[in-house]
Chains A and B, each alone.
Chain A
């Protein structure tokens, strides 16, 4: 049984949307939102993503201000029929160094290759890999544990969102 109990259509969105819009909050209280490829770690009921050390702002913000959000509102490529939009608010934990053999990172890189098939020519090129080591390998992992989930059926934001109780089931 998954740790996080979610309606099937919401879980589908978290699994299938190519990107979500991740927001962190900087020192000045300014929200910054960027599209991000995330992995839904279903066994642990968490979302996982990683940022390059060259562009560490999300990680630095989340260390100071762990309350973050992930909006899943763009279904392009997901092949889901009329999915809802989903806003996940949660607490972020930021690692110091990404373990390249961590199963969640392996799963995320696999997802990236599936969703962006043209990237494999780049990532399999040994020279490109060395030149872009700061982008491909020198990364900081960020794990988000949901605390509140809002859902807009049909991605209709003119409606009042439904609140999904975040029930973490102990295993």
Chain B
């Protein structure tokens, strides 16, 4: 399903990673490319697709992501769909927008500078972790915090 709010965020990106699965080997294959969004038709076209990707068809995704030189300002968004060919140009017919932050209105990852977003992410993460453990049917081993602290202190001393 098309998501106008997330689609609007894509204008900030200069490139994306296109991926399909090689049906012969089962391995995924990815290239970086410059997609063009057609919101009216809910399609991304890739006019100058890398030659390596020229014959790609089928289930595919486009990953848009960015970070700065301090690994902050994280944003990430995946667009899923079916990769086809339209008049000699690769085209991804969009089926879904997926974020990694549990939200459908932004691709920004949680950060301490946005406390409400961070709190929502905390609650989401705790809920999903509980669900994972319930399905797993066994508790997670206790976290050895004292040992973690000792290891961190030792690491700090070595710096």
Interface residues of A (CB under 8 A from B): 18-19, 21, 23-25, 28-35, 52-56, 65, 67-69, 71, 73-74, 76-77, 85, 87, 89, 97, 100-101, 106, 110, 112, 115-119, 122, 124, 126, 129, 131-135, 137-138, 147-148, 150, 155, 157-161
Contact = CB atoms under 8 A, between A and B. Distances in A.
B124 to A, nearest CB: 8
Interface of B: 17, 19-21, 25-33, 48, 50-52, 58-61, 63, 65-72, 76, 78, 80, 98, 100, 112, 122, 124-126, 128-129, 132-133, 140-141, 143-145, 147-148, 151-152, 155
A134 B126 contact: yes
B54 to A, nearest CB: 11
B78 A34 contact: yes
Contact of B61 (A33, A56, A116, A122): A33
A61 to B, nearest CB: 10
Contacts of A29: 21, 58-59
Contacts of A65: 26
- By secondary structure, the B interface counts as mixed
Given A34-B76, A100-B144, A157-B31, A53 B69 contact: no
29 contacts: A19-B71, A21-B17, A23-B19, A23-B30, A30-B80, A32-B80, A32-B98, A33-B17, A54-B124, A54-B126, A55-B125, A65-B26, A67-B27, A67-B28, A68-B27, A71-B32, A77-B71, A89-B28, A101-B147, A106-B151, A115-B70, A115-B71, A116-B70, A116-B71, A126-B145, A137-B148, A157-B50, A157-B52, A159-B51
Contacts of B27: 67-69, 89, 147-148
